[in-house]
Amino acid sequence: MERMTIIGLGLIGGSLGLALKATKLPNVEIVGYDTDTIAAVDARRVGAVDKTEHTLQRATANAGMVILATPIVAMRQVMEEMASGLRENCIVTDTASTKSLVMEWAGQLLPPHVSFVGGHPMAGKETAGIANADARLFAGKAYCIVPSPAATESAVKLVAGLVHLIGAQPLFIDAHEHDRYVAAVSHLPLVLSSALFTLVRGSPAWPELAALASSGFRDLTRLASGDPELSHDICLTNREAILHWLERMADELSRYRELLAEGQEEALFKHFTRVQLDRDTFMTAGPPTRPRVAADVPDAGEQLVSLLVGERLVRRAREIRKLLSERPPEGRTPPKGDGRPPEERRRP
């Protein structure tokens, strides 16, 4: 019986457990651990895990794979505490929303006989906790995979297989790239959502504004209801990239202010027409080209234990690990001018 352990039984850990259990992997036991014993009991009750353990050490010892699904900031200590008890060739992965620091911690804290392969499912809800866990949470979603330089090829394959098994799309990516990209598409929206809410909520006219607020305001502020611990951890561990995108957003809003202040009817109309076209294209056609970070995925029916991965996926994983191993050791700050992408096309 192979043991797969999930540390942290909240929305993501619980959903992973449910999704894995739904695949009915033969000879695999899903073990759970959470410092919150109520969450642990609930996870067992809803069938997200086969059993739970009372200590982190007991839960992780003898595990073939450990999945860290705790709050980001807590992962460092979890790694520290479980490191010495991990068995030979154990595969450790995580689900943190930011990757650079987590990869750094893994490199420093985990023993060399362990393969760390970072992960980040691009899925979530604003309702946290095991009570909201859902086996279908990852279905059709992108799932970033960030192999560490020391990870074995089979460990990378196994994590990709796991991702595939729960219905998600593996996407191989480097940690710093990841953090800069999610700062744009996840963390900037989070901060905007929160800022829009605090701005309007802080108005003396709030009672009237709230009475008039319709689906637009509700949708735009949805992320403001997200788990505060997650928002906090994201802001702490991806600060530079978020600050960068917040600056760019301020510039973009200045451009919109100019566009409005000029009041050029035709320019305004053309602009909004273009925006609608572009977004509709994005929503219907998806990403414009196969992104270079994408990976081939194994066939749908395959199971983790008999995983066969296409050549391109292996090649891409190799490239990334080569890239990483050639890179000089680095701190928290991404190497190229704190991650600022090259000069961008401007619209409007």
Residues 175-234 that bind a copy of itself (CB under 8 A): 177, 180-182, 184-186, 188-229, 231-232
> How far is residue 334's CA from residue 32's CA, in Å, rounded to a whole number?
34
Residues in 316-345 at the binding interface with a copy of itself, rule: CB under 8 A: 341-342, 344-345
> How far is residue 262's CA from residue 246's CA, in Å, rounded to a whole number?
24
Q: Is 312 in the site for a copy of itself (CB under 8 A)?
A: no
Residues in 52-111 at the binding interface with a copy of itself, rule: CB under 8 A: none
Q: In b/e form, how buried is each residue of 54-75, taking b as 16+ CB within 10 angstroms?
A: eebeebbbebbbbbbbbbbebb
- Nearest approach in angstroms of CB 141 to a copy of itself is 7
Q: Which alpha helices (DSSP H) does the chain contain, by range?
A: 11-22, 37-45, 56-60, 75-82, 100-109, 153-165, 175-182, 188-201, 206-212, 215-220, 228-237, 239-262, 265-285, 311-326
8 A C-beta contact, residue 170 and residue 297? yes
- Nearest approach in angstroms of CB 136 to a copy of itself is 13
Two structure tokens written together for 5: 């352990």
Question: Near a copy of itself by CB under 8 A, which window of 11-19, 49-57, 148-156, 245-253?
Answer: 245-253
Q: Is 280 in the site for a copy of itself (CB under 8 A)?
A: yes
Q: ∠145-148-153 over CA atoms, to 5°?
A: 80
- Nearest approach in angstroms of CB 244 to a copy of itself is 10
Residues in 246-275 at the binding interface with a copy of itself, rule: CB under 8 A: 246-250, 252-257, 260-261, 263, 265, 268-269, 272-273, 275
- Nearest approach in angstroms of CB 176 to a copy of itself is 12
Question: Near a copy of itself by CB under 8 A, which window of 83-91, 157-165, 283-291, 323-331?
Answer: 283-291
- Nearest approach in angstroms of CB 56 to a copy of itself is 23
> How far is residue 56's CA from residue 323's CA, in Å, rounded to a whole number?
34
Instruction: Give whichever of 8 and 32 is closer to a copy of itself, judged by the CB atom.
Output: 8
